[in-house]
């Protein structure tokens, strides 16, 4: 979306760069966690919410008086990485419903 009076070139490609960074974070996390990677979780896995809440907690920790306040942005990227992985799992699991699968005609 282009907003009047903004640096349109910057605003236009910024979301794409952010999603590339999120993709990189997902890939790095997958490499780090191996068999425990969230990338293979089913859409309805009970692990999604605890993993997401852990990342949200890490964001909060960066904002505490003795927390590492310089990595709030990195923790936000981690949380987005979990959210997009969860969305991918939901979207991948979703199959088009046909008359044959619904039993209706």
Closest distance between Mg ion and the C-beta of residue 14, in Å? 22
Using the CB atoms, write b or e for 52-90: b if 16+ within 10 Å: beebeebbeebeeeeeeeeebeebbbbbbbbeebbeebe
Closest CB to Mg ion among residues 75, 86: 75
Closest distance between Mg ion and the C-beta of residue 100, in Å? 44
Tell me, by CB under 5 A, how many residues bind Mg ion.
3
Q: Give Cα 91 distance to the centre of its chain.
A: 13
Closest CB to Mg ion among residues 75, 89: 75
Answer yes or no whether residue 58 interacts with Mg ion by CB under 5 A. Answer: yes
Candidates 11-19, 21-29, 44-52, 73-81: pick the segment binding Mg ion (CB under 5 A). Answer: 73-81
Answer yes or no whether residue 78 interacts with Mg ion by CB under 5 A. Answer: yes
Candidates 17-25, 35-43, 55-63, 95-103: pick the segment binding Mg ion (CB under 5 A). Answer: 55-63
- Cα 34 to Cα 16: distance, rounded to the nearest angstrom: 27
Give just the sign of the alpha carbon dihedral 5, 8, 10, 13.
positive
Q: Tokens in use for 18? A: 């952010």
Binding-site ranges for Mg ion (CB under 5 A):
58, 75, 78
């Amino acid at each position: 979306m282009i907003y009047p009076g903004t640096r349109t070139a910057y605003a236009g490609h910024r979301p794409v760069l952010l999603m590339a960074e999120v993709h990189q974070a997902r890939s790095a996390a997958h490499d780090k966690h191996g068999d425990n990677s969230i990338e293979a979780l089913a859409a309805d896995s009970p692990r999604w919410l605890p993993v997401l809440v852990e990342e949200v907690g890490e964001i909060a920790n960066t904002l505490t008086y003795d927390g590492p306040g310089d990595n709030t942005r990195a923790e936000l990227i981690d949380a987005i990485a979990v959210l997009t992985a969860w969305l991918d799992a939901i979207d991948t699991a979703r199959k088009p419903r046909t008359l044959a699968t619904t039993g209706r005609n």
